[in-house]
Amino acid sequence: MKQGSISIVGAGPGDPELITVKAMRRIQAADVILYDRLVNEELLDYASGDAIRIYCGKAPGQHSMPQESTERLMIKHAAAGSHVVRLKGGDPFVFGRGGEEALAAAAAGIPYEIIPGITSAIGSAASAGIPLTHRGLAASFAIVTGSRCQDAAAPVRWDALAHSVDTLAIYMGVSRLSDICGQLMKHGKDPQTPVALIENGTTSGERTVTGTLGNIGKLAAMMKIHNPAMIIVGEVVNVREQLLSLEHAARSQIG
58 catalytic, yes or no? yes
Distance between CA 125 and CA 119 in Å, rounded? 10
* CB contact burial 110-120 (16+ within 10 A = b; e otherwise): bebebbbbbbb
Distance between CA 7 and CA 26 in Å, rounded? 7
DSSP 174: G
Closest-CA residue to 176 (of 107, 229, 105): 229
172 catalytic, yes or no? yes
Distance between CA 157 and CA 155 in Å, rounded? 6
Single out the catalytic residue among 74, 88, 91, 172. 172
What sign does the CA torsion over 139, 140, 146, 150 have?
Answer: negative
230 catalytic, yes or no? no
Phi, psi (degrees; rounded to nearest 5) at 48: -60, 150
| 236 CB-near residues (< 8 Å, 6+ apart) | 130, 131, 132, 133, 134, 137, 138, 166, 167, 194
DSSP 2: P
Closest-CA residue to 80 (of 31, 37, 113, 39): 31
Single out the catalytic residue among 58, 65, 159, 179. 58
> Which are the catalytic amino acids?
36, 58, 172
